[in-house]
Structure 1
Amino acid sequence: MWKIIFIVELLVNACIAFTGFYIISKIIHSTRFSSYAVKSLIIGLATGLLGVVLMFKGIQVNDSLRMDLRHLPLVLLAFYGNRFPLVVATLIIAGSRFLFGVTPQAFIAFVSIIAISTGMIWIHRQLLNRPFRQNLALNVWALLMITFAVLINLGFNDASLRLLLATWTIGLAVGVLSSMLTLDFQTLNRQVELYKQSSERDHLTGLYNRRVWDTRTAGLEQEGRIYNVLALDIDHFKHVNDTYGHGNGDFVLQQFANILMEETRPHDITVRIGGEEFMILIYDLTPSKIIKVANRIRERIAHERFQLDGFPDITVTASIGIAHGKQIHIQHMNGLADEALYTAKQQGRNRTILFNQLDQQSIAASHSSTETRI
């Protein structure tokens, strides 16, 4: 009879573990959390809860012995390298052992869980680029620590040997299966991320593409926030292509894009629209501040030495048109930024022109540091 109970409980525990792994992995790969600390805490709590459930559920080995798979959730976190969640989960799982009573056996179990997590951190570092071997090593390390705890608590006898035989057999089997599940899930998420990047990123510069711009700016007029649309264009870029070749032209575009990424904030949206045309969405800056930002970018570009293949370094300049406004449809703001950019080109290039939709006036910032109204 107990053999049937053993098989049923084994399947139930495996299902609980695999389901928990799936949910926790989804949380780990989720990008919906605004705070990394909150996300890490949730991962740690969820993993600790899974370990406690597996500990209380357990598997009936025979009429007098039970085992559990509480170590498996810790393997998952160690594999992903989530240290803070691992600490949280370890304390929850280790501490919950005292719910069965504050005994020497409970203290040994507590220490073994701490040792499991500590060793896992080291194993993760050593086998970082060998995922399957790392996962297998994490499981073996956990089982070794469990073996020491069992031998200390039960001694070396038939009962402890039977328990260890079941622990190693089931632990390795479920551990390997869970490792394969984790690796498959990680591979799937990497492929999804690659597909997402290929659909959102410009293949040459790595900046966002026009599709992302249209998606992120849809409905801006409903947000009620002041925002700025910057339209940027490399001056005389056709001359660069004609003189040095399109390969070097692409190299210049890549270096230009790197400057834009370095000179903008992480939450600003910087895109390559096409050719030598770029756009940036920047929230919440006043006209005077956005002109300073634009001029900083423009001056950085003008002073940069752009490397070429087979030719000496060159310098290029950029013209920038800005539309500043609030609760205005993005298509209208795009048009205003393009008009301001065209004006900058007409006035001699290497300058910034801002159109302030809020008070219906334009401000020109020339290649010098002075600003004049037109």
Structure 2
Amino acid sequence: MTLTVLLLNACVAFTGFYIISKIYHSSLFNSYRLRSSVIGILAGALGLFLMYNAVEANDMVRVDLRHLPLVLLAFYGARFPLFIATLVIASTRFLFGMTEQAVIAFIATFIVSIGMLWIHRLLRERLFLQSIFLNVWALFIISIAVYINMGWSTAYVSLVLSIWMIGMLVGLLSSILTIDLEQTTRRAIEYKQSSERDHLTGLYNRRVWDRYTASIGQENRTYNVLALDIDHFKHVNDTYGHGNGDLVLQQFANILKVETRAHDTVARIGGEEFVILMYDLTPEKVDKVANRIRERIAAELFHLNDFPPIQITTSVGVAHGTSLPIKRMVDLADSALYQAKHEGRNQVVVSTYDTPQPIMT
């Protein structure tokens, strides 16, 4: 009977593992805190269910697989959900009576979770070994807690052997499922990034730029498009080689990442051509931002392989407008960039929606 109940609980736990793992990897919740809370509560509810279907060793001692949801959360290193689930599982043990056994179970649950975090920190890159150790640690603490409650007896040995057999079996199966989900998710993220990101600089590519900006102009909102081009970049490639030209592009892109806001869209759309989308800046402010970027580029030392560091400059064309189609804005930015090049390079030209003629700064 004990073995049958534990097997049924294992099946429920296995299903819960799958559901929680899918939620953990989903983009259903925009808020990290909300998603973590939902995961923690679900894991705690799963632990509570397993407690309700526990094996009663005697009138006072109940044994179950409540530790399994904690193993899953520890495997992911999900500290906040793990804390919530631990608190739920440990506290709800008192629903079955305010006894000494409940106090021991409460303490044991927190010891299990704390030890799991330490194991995760040590073995986070060795997924299968980490999962095995998480299960072994939980079963070890559970065995000690049961021993404190029951003492050494034939019943204790029989119960603990059943717990270890079922616990390790379910732990192994759940580990395989969790690792498979984790690796599948990692590959999906890598594929998504490779399709959206420029392979050299890590910035968005032209396809993503076109997709993100497709609907711009349909809302009454002011925005700016900055078109940037590295001055005399062909000379860099011809003099130092294309490998060093790639290094210059990477360092140039890193500066753009640092000098723009988190919600700005930065993309590489050609060899040495970059674009930036910025919302809600006046012509004066966007002019300051563009010049700050230009000055930072001019002051930077770009490190090369087998050559001394070099300095480069950039020309920037800016289009400023409201409710203007993105294609028109890009054309305005390109025209302003062309004028900056024509006027001597290393400068910013701003073109506004209300001013047909570009204004050089």
TM-score, normalisation: structure 1: 0.90
Amino acid at match of 1:75: V
Partners of 1:15 and 1:340 in 2: how far apart? Answer: 65
Residue matched to 2:32: 36
**Is 1:353 equivalent to 2:349 in the alignment?**
yes
Residue matched to 1:368: none
Cα distance 1:345–1:51, how it changes in 2: closer, same or farther (>3 A)? same
Note if contact 2:222-2:320 (Cα within 8 Å) is conserved in structure 1: yes
1:111 Cα deviation after fit: 0.8
Instruction: Indicate the larger mover: 126-135 or 174-183.
Output: 126-135
**Is 1:262 equivalent to 2:258 in the alignment?**
yes
Higher relative contact order (CA 8 A, sep 6+): 2
| Structure 1: gaps (5+ residues) | 366-374
Residue matched to 1:129: 125
Instruction: Indicate the larger mover: 134-143 or 117-126.
Output: 117-126
Residue matched to 2:87: 91
Cα distance 1:131–1:314, how it changes in 2: closer, same or farther (>3 A)? same
Note if contact 1:51-1:69 (Cα within 8 Å) is conserved in structure 2: yes
Partners of 1:21 and 1:326 in 2: how far apart? Answer: 49
Instruction: Indicate the larger mover: 43-52 or 18-27.
Output: 18-27
Q: How does 1:50-65 map to 2 (within 5 A)?
A: 50-58=46-54
Partners of 1:30 and 1:37 in 2: how far apart? Answer: 14
Residue matched to 1:371: none
Question: Which of 215, 240, 247 is the equivalent residue of 1:219?
Answer: 215
Q: Secondary structure at the match of 1:239?
A: helix
Question: Which of 280, 291, 303 is the equivalent residue of 1:295?
Answer: 291
Partners of 1:278 and 1:124 in 2: how far apart? Answer: 41
Note if contact 1:61-1:166 (Cα within 8 Å) is conserved in structure 2: no
**Is 1:171 equivalent to 2:167 in the alignment?**
yes
Note if contact 2:61-2:101 (Cα within 8 Å) is conserved in structure 1: no
Cα distance 1:242–1:83, how it changes in 2: closer, same or farther (>3 A)? same
Instruction: Indicate the larger mover: 189-198 or 218-227.
Output: 218-227
1:11 Cα deviation after fit: 5.2
Residue matched to 1:147: 143
Q: How does 1:5-24 map to 2 (within 5 A)?
A: 6-7=3-4, 9-10=5-6, 12-24=8-20
RMSD (CA atoms): 2.2
Q: How does 1:194-273 map to 2 (within 5 A)?
A: 194-273=190-269
Note if contact 1:326-1:358 (Cα within 8 Å) is conserved in structure 2: no
Residue matched to 1:313: 309
Note if contact 1:353-1:362 (Cα within 8 Å) is conserved in structure 2: yes
Cα distance 1:310–1:134, how it changes in 2: closer, same or farther (>3 A)? same
Partners of 1:109 and 1:139 in 2: how far apart? Answer: 17
**Is 1:117 equivalent to 2:113 in the alignment?**
yes
Partners of 1:358 and 1:160 in 2: how far apart? Answer: 84
Partners of 1:77 and 1:58 in 2: how far apart? Answer: 21
Q: Secondary structure at the match of 1:278?
A: strand
Residue matched to 1:188: 184
Amino acid at match of 2:67: H
Partners of 1:57 and 1:286 in 2: how far apart? Answer: 64
Note if contact 2:7-2:166 (Cα within 8 Å) is conserved in structure 1: no
Residue matched to 1:158: 154
Residue matched to 2:43: 47
**Is 1:74 equivalent to 2:70 in the alignment?**
yes
1:320 Cα deviation after fit: 0.8
1:361 Cα deviation after fit: 6.0
Instruction: Indicate the larger mover: 195-204 or 11-20.
Output: 11-20
What is the aligned residue count? 361
1:337 Cα deviation after fit: 1.2
Partners of 2:323 and 2:29 in 1: how far apart? Answer: 27
Note if contact 2:61-2:150 (Cα within 8 Å) is conserved in structure 1: no
Amino acid at match of 2:180: D
Partners of 1:57 and 1:358 in 2: how far apart? Answer: 72
Amino acid at match of 2:85: A
1:362 Cα deviation after fit: 3.6
Note if contact 1:229-1:282 (Cα within 8 Å) is conserved in structure 2: yes
CA-to-aligned-CA distance 1:165-186 (integer Å, 9 cap, x gap): 1111000000111111111111
| Structure 2: gaps (5+ residues) | none
TM-score, normalisation: structure 2: 0.94
Partners of 1:36 and 1:301 in 2: how far apart? Answer: 35
Instruction: Indicate the larger mover: 230-239 or 220-229.
Output: 220-229
Residue matched to 1:372: none
Note if contact 1:143-1:168 (Cα within 8 Å) is conserved in structure 2: yes
Partners of 2:13 and 2:354 in 1: how far apart? Answer: 58
Q: Secondary structure at the match of 1:274?
A: coil
1:16 Cα deviation after fit: 2.5
**Is 1:335 equivalent to 2:331 in the alignment?**
yes
CA-to-aligned-CA distance 1:153-201 (integer Å, 9 cap, x gap): 1222222222111111000000111111111111101110111111011
1:297 Cα deviation after fit: 0.7
Partners of 2:19 and 2:343 in 1: how far apart? Answer: 58
1:358 Cα deviation after fit: 5.1
Amino acid at match of 2:17: F
